[in-house]
């Protein structure tokens, strides 16, 4: 698979993942009658070094955070697409993909606990996990159909070396 194709596939997967998380938190915030509170708080923590959950709802923070959020997901999508391209040749790399996704879940929560623990009061850990699961489902929904041979080989051989 050419690098250009991997990057395009990864960018699409990343954008889908970012949109899935954003849609989840928009719905979550609307249900709590606090539209755009989550990206506003995350933007305040990221760009202003805020250390408390004051209601911040500036559109500039939301836009800035959304851009960073999208770029991070595009990079993650490209990493996943690259691993899937390798998995097309060696299906054992599907295990690396699984590990990367698990590590991403844990790393994001750990990063929040270390850098902005106060965010876990207005945005509970389970809401973050649900958003990340939606993102994972969206990204894998883009990548799985394009890499069925790797999945088929992995189902047949598991982590054994291919013959």
**What is the sign of the dihedral through the CA atoms of 73, 23, 111 and 80?**
negative
Q: Which residue has the tokens 């606990």?
A: 113
Dump pLDDT digits (tens) for 82-96: 999 988 888 778 888
Kindly give the interhelix angle for 125-143 and 59-87, rounded to the nearest 10 degrees.
50
Q: What is the pTM of this model?
A: 0.84
Q: Distance between CA atoms of 6 and 21, rounded to whole angstroms? A: 22
Q: Tell me: the pLDDT tens digits for 142-162? A: 998 988 877 777 777 766 665
């Amino acid at each position: 698979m050419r690098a250009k194709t991997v990057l395009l596939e990864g960018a699409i997967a990343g954008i889908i993942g970012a949109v899935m998380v954003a849609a989840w938190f928009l719905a979550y915030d609307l249900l709590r009658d606090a539209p755009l509170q989550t990206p506003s708080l995350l933007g305040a923590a990221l760009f202003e070094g805020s250390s408390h959950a004051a209601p911040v709802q500036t559109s500039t923070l939301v836009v800035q955070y959304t851009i960073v959020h999208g770029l991070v997901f595009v990079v993650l999508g490209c990493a996943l697409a690259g691993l899937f391209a390798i998995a097309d040749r060696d299906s054992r790399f599907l295990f690396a993909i699984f590990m990367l996704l698990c590590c991403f879940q844990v790393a994001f929560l750990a990063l929040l606990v270390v850098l902005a623990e106060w965010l876990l009061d207005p945005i509970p850990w389970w809401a973050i996990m649900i958003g990340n699961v939606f993102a994972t489902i969206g990204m894998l929904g883009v990548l799985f159909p394009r890499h069925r041979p790797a999945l088929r080989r992995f189902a047949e051989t598991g982590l054994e070396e291919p013959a």
